[in-house]
Every structure is written in structure tokens, then in C-alpha cells.
Amino acid sequence: MVRWLILVALAPFLGGCATTNGDPRDPLEGMNRGIYAFNDKVDTWALRPVSRAYHDYIHSEIRDRVRNFFGNIADPMIGVNNMLQGKFEEGFFDWVRFGFNSTFGLFGLHDVASDMGYEKHNEDWGQTFGRWGAGTGPYVVLPLLGSSSVRDGIGTGLDYLTDPMGGLRRAELRWGLWGVRIIQVRSDLLDVSQLLEDASLDKYVFQRDAYFQRRRSLVYDGRPPRERDIDTIPPGQPK
Amino acid sequence: MTRVLALLAAVFALGAAQAQELMPPDVLVKQVTLEVVDLIAKDKEIRGGNRAKLIGLINDKVIPHFNFVSMAALAMGQSWNKATPEQKKRVTEEFKTLLVRTYASALASYSDQKFDFRPLRAKPTDTDVTVNVRVLQPGTQPVPIDYSMEKTPSGWKVYDVMVGGVSLVANYRTEFNNLVRESGVDGLIKNLSAKNRALEGADRK
């Protein structure tokens, strides 16, 4: 049933495999662009206006609490992923953060751990697979979820399966919280998405390249090895 | 007497120029960042959305510390060598306009976040360094901003900015190369200037 639904949802895009610039990382560009256009419509007509209203009408103090709350319940799994990547100290401190913020920080509403110097980390299953040596595989634009790759798409699936909110028995509570989290995340990206719109000549290409750069940086925790292919640098330019 | 004064003035000017040249890159980044943020905080018009004034401020305070020729060359990659000197000049100009405008949008969304200026990890003899700054915001991971800088006769100049691990110039490379492949360097120039004109039109609205 679910598989059939996905197929139906994808059907309109499968025909769109026309224009490609032949980027080796993006063999599915035709289909991806189709899904991208669909996501863009959903964003323009639903997600962005709701997030804009959330940003404009809810006081920033409250938005900070909401961000902290969702950040806090994510910390234990961030810790697990850090440990799976062999970073036991970081993983331990993710749990320390969860402990402090859940108690002194009133159920995670206040990020007291950051004030104490325990910084928040950014980890997920896709990064863990990357750290284990898995390449990204082809670029994939997921319906509604946006930029991803084969590796990170599988990672995102696992992220959802291991999401503590997934354990909530009452479906309406679970979906309600997921909904609020999506709006919170999107509202934090309002400025970034406008910047993308302004800065890019071809938004699809710009976002794809940024996605690959960003994920590579995250896998290496912000210190990726330098990857400047020598022959693209003109003579007389800095190396 | 006047000659002595003139000489003194000249020596002084030379000294000042040299002092600026010698200002370490991390100190330069910190000083310019804090100055710009402070000027914006004090300026009601800019905070009220006066984009032209903000761009003026960026042109005065920030732009002198950027090397746009390097940025354009790195963004174009292999295509740079195919361009004539006149085309290189046009690309650099249009790219500069686009980047200044993008920078203005980024600054306009700045709201009181704290900066963490990281100590520079480089040897005194290095002529190509990365200056790390982090923007701190509770509840989320700090956002790293890394300035790639090169030493030039007129001081340290930025030739790339990485935000959250995304290099600005590298991110333009695919777009630029696609356009050059489709319609040559002139096609790229046409696209850039059309983009700039569209953004300018949107500003005036």
C-alpha cells in the first residue's frame, strides 16, 4: 500500500528526465528537478507562509524555547551517533547536555548546558555512515524533505525510526509535535532561503552544490581535508 | 622647515601604510566585523531596511579587504583562462555586485548573535591563512564562518568565505561552468548582469 502510494506520488516526475548538465553526482537530475519544483510549490504556498506567520507573530522568547525543546530531545541520539563514530567524549557530553537541560533547563526549554560551555553538536545517521567510509551516492531530492543523497536518505529514514517522538503512543500528539518542529526549523531558515534565492543563478544547482559541501563538512565535523583540485586553479592564483 | 614637515608627513604616512599592511588577518577580521555590526546597530535607517545605505556601508568598510579578482577566478575555475582581459573585468565587476548584495542580505538578517573569534593557527611566514569566526546561538550548533585570506602588498585580502562549511566561490563554480559551456563567457556576463538588475529592481519596490 505504502509502496504503491510512493509510486503514484513519483509518477508525475519520472517523465521529466529531460534537461541535464551531466553532473556526475546527479544522474537523476531530470527527476530531481521535477521533485524540486514540486517541493518549491509546496513551500511557497504552504510551508513558507505558515513559518513566516510563526516567525512574525510568536515572540522570539517563545520560539527560542521551542527550538531548545526539540534540540534537547534530539541530543541523546546525537550522542549515540557520536559514539558510533568513535567520538566517545563528545557523545558523553551530549548526554550530559540532555541531563542538565532536562532538569535545570526545565524539560529542555532552556539550553543551560551551552551557557555552561557544553556545546551542541550536529550528528545524524547519514554522517555516521559517512564517517564509516560510505560515499554519498547520487544526489536525490526527496519529496517534501528536499536535498539528500542515497546515503543520507537512508540515514534520514533511520533518524525518523530512532526519533524519540516516534515512540509517542498517541498519534495526534506525535504528528502535532512533528508539525511544530518542521515549522520551527523552516522559520529558522527563512533568511537563508531568501539568500539562496538572491545569490544563485540556478537555484537548483546552487542548492545541490551547497548540500554536498555542507554534508562533507559535517561528516568531518567542520574540518574536512582540503580538496582543491589543482587543475581548476588558474596560474597565479592562491593554492 | 616645510620640507622637514613634508618629510615627516611622508614618513608618517609610510608608517601608517605599513602598520595597516602588517595588521594580522585575524585582528583585521575582528576589527572590521565588530565595527560594521556596531555601525548597523547604531543606524536606525539601516535597521529600518534602507538597503542602499547598508550597501554603501559595506562598500566603505568591507569591500577594501576583499580580492574580487581572485574570487572571480576561483569561481570560474578552468573557464577563467578562456576569458579575455575585458571579459575578466566584466565578470569580476558583476560578481562583485552580486556578492555585495548577498552580503547585505546576510547582514540585514543579523540580530544580536554573539561572535567567537578563534585564535589564528598559522606561522608568521604564512601568506595564505584561514581566519575562523563562529556565530553563537543558543539551542543550535554554532555557525562557523571561515575567511580564506591571502597576503598582498596592500594588506591581507579575503578571497573566499565559508559559511557552515560551504565555500562561496566553490559553490558558484558549477553554475558558472554550466553557463560558460552553454553560451560562453559572454553568456555568463549576461546572466550575472541580468541577475543584478533583477535584484536592483526588487530593492526599489
Does B201 touch chain A if contact means CB atoms closer than 8 Å? Answer: no
A24 belongs to a structural domain: no
Domains of chain B in start order, with CATH, are 2-204 (3.10.450.710)
Residue A219 has a pLDDT of: 93
Q: Give the three-class secondary structure for A29.
A: helix
A227 belongs to a structural domain: no
Q: Are A188 and B192 a contacting pair at CB < 8 A?
A: no
Which ranges of chain B have pLDDT less than 50? none
A4 or A55, higher pLDDT: A55
**Residue A143's pLDDT band (cuts 50, 70, 90):** very high
A88-137 pLDDT tens trace: 999 999 999 999 999 998 999 999 998 888 889 999 999 999 999 999 99
Q: What percent of chain A has pLDDT over 90?
A: 58
A41 belongs to a structural domain: yes
Asked whether B171 and B81 are in contact (CB, 8 A), the reply is no
A28 belongs to a structural domain: no
Residue A8 has a pLDDT of: 44
Residue A5 has a pLDDT of: 46
Average pLDDT, chain A: 85
Residue B149 has a pLDDT of: 92
Pick from A198, A202, A239: which is nearest to B101 by CB? Answer: A198
Provide, as residue numbers in chain B, all residues whose Cβ is less than 8 Å from the Cβ of A216: 165
Q: Are A222 and B144 a contacting pair at CB < 8 A?
A: yes
Q: What percent of chain A has pLDDT over 70?
A: 85
Provide, as residue numbers in chain A, all residues whose Cβ is less than 8 Å from the Cβ of B142: 119
A186 belongs to a structural domain: yes
A48-59 pLDDT tens trace: 999 999 999 999
B141-183 pLDDT tens trace: 888 899 999 988 888 999 999 988 889 898 999 889 989 998 9
A131 belongs to a structural domain: yes
A27 belongs to a structural domain: no
| CA A213 to each of CA A75, B102, B147, B170: distance values in angstroms, whole numbers, following the listed order | 24, 19, 16, 9
Q: Which of B175, B188, B203 to probe by mutation at the A interface, max A CB count within 10 Å?
A: B175
**Distance between CA A215 and CA A124 in Å, rounded?**
11
pTM: 0.81
Asked whether A63 and A54 are in contact (CB, 8 A), the reply is yes
Residue A197 has a pLDDT of: 85
A236 belongs to a structural domain: no
Task: Give one DSSP letter per residue of A74-86, joined into a string.
Answer: HHHHHHHHHHHTT
Domain count, chain A: 1
Provide, as residue numbers in chain A, all residues whose Cβ is less than 8 Å from the Cβ of B77: 232-234
- Whether the per-residue pLDDT at A18 is higher than 60: the answer is no
